[in-house]
């Protein structure tokens, strides 16, 4: 599975008011591992940033004046994300800006180029209702080092978000069977069914180790370990 973790910095909060992207970065995950492939652009928005936005990212108009415009990097960006699943924190914000930039170029909408979009803010709120779920809070909750994050930067934030996403989904997606291996698994299953198999029950020590692993998964996923949840449901039947 190919996933792209993406982040932007902007001149303000609303693209409908003419605000633009000033920084864009994305890092690649393949089968839940960072590959080292990434893109990172500073962009000339041809306008000033709001003071509040400038305090967040520190990218002045002077610094950005000689950087490329979005139109100049759009093709490379779209090739990089093509057919991947996008992972974005507060996705409606970034998607809204990217769609406005693409619309100015007559290039359609972001959703046309990627397979799907995961909003990690929505995911975090479902896992941790009523708690702070911004990137800093999630880094603290999952013991991810964000000490270099003195200002918001798209590349650093994308890298941190990749770690946060893997931590949030640890114990769930990491155990899913990759689609490309399904055929092999099915063939093995058919072969196994034609034989008489000897059943060997787990020892007490093996059962204890198994439950210890499940408890670790549960502690790292806010008691969302699917095997423990199913076990509790079966006990009530």
- Domain membership of residue 137 (yes or no) is yes
Q: Is the pLDDT of residue 195 over 70?
A: no
The HSE-up count of residue 37 (CA atoms within 13 Å, CB side) is 12
Report if residue 222 sits inside a domain: yes
Q: What is the mean pLDDT of the chain?
A: 87
Separation between Cα atoms, residue 12 and residue 17, nearest integer Å:
9
Which of 38, 36, 33, 44 shows the shortest CA–CA distance to 11? Answer: 44
Catalytic residues, by residue number, are: 152
Q: What's residue 234's pLDDT?
A: 61
What pTM was computed for the model?
A: 0.72
Based on the fold, state whether residues 55 and 160 are members of the same structural domain: yes
Task: Please check whether residues 183 and 218 belong to one and the same domain.
Answer: yes
163 & 188 share domain: no
Whether 121 maps to a domain, the answer reads yes
pLDDT of residue 178: 47
CATH number of domain containing 20: 3.30.420.10
Beta carbons of 221 and 171 less than 8 angstroms apart: yes
174 found inside a domain: no
Residue 197 belongs to what domain range? 179-236
Q: What is the pLDDT of residues 78-92, one digit of tens each?
A: 999 999 999 999 999
pLDDT digits (tens, 9 = 90+) for 151-181: 789 999 999 999 999 999 996 543 444 444 4
Average pLDDT, integer, range 20-40: 98
Whole-angstrom Cα distance, residue 89 to residue 165? 9
Q: Show which of 111, 142, 169 is a domain's final residue.
A: 169
Higher pLDDT, 73 or 202: 73
Q: Which of 169, 197, 221 is the last residue of a domain?
A: 169
**Residue pointed to by tokens 């979009």:** 117
Name the domain count of the chain.
2
pLDDT band at 206 (very low <50, low <70, confident <90, very high): confident
Place of tokens 């779209």: 78
């Amino acid at each position: 599975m190919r996933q792209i973790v993406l982040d932007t910095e902007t001149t303000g909060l609303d693209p409908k008011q003419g605000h633009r992207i000033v920084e864009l970065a994305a890092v690649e995950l393949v089968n839940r591992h960072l590959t080292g492939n990434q893109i990172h652009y500073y962009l000339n928005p041809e306008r000033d940033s709001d003071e509040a936005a400038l305090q967040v990212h520190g990218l002045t108009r002077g610094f950005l004046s000689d950087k490329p415009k979005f139109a100049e990097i759009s093709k490379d960006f779209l090739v990089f994300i093509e057919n991947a699943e996008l992972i974005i924190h507060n996705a409606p914000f970034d998607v809204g800006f990217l769609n406005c930039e693409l619309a100015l170029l007559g290039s359609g909408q972001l959703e046309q180029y990627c397979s799907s979009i995961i909003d990690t803010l929505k995911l975090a709120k479902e896992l941790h209702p009523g708690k702070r779920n911004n990137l800093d809070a999630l880094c603290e909750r999952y013991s991810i080092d964000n000490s270099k994050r003195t200002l918001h930067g798209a590349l650093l934030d994308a890298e941190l978000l990749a770690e946060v996403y893997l931590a949030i989904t640890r114990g769930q997606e990491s155990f899913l069977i990759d689609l490309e291996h399904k055929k092999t698994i099915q063939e093995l299953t058919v072969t196994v069914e034609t034989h008489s198999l000897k059943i060997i029950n787990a020892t007490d020590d093996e059962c204890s180790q198994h439950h210890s692993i499940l408890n670790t998964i549960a502690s790292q996923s806010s008691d969302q370990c699917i095997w423990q949840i199913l076990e509790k449901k079966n006990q009530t039947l």
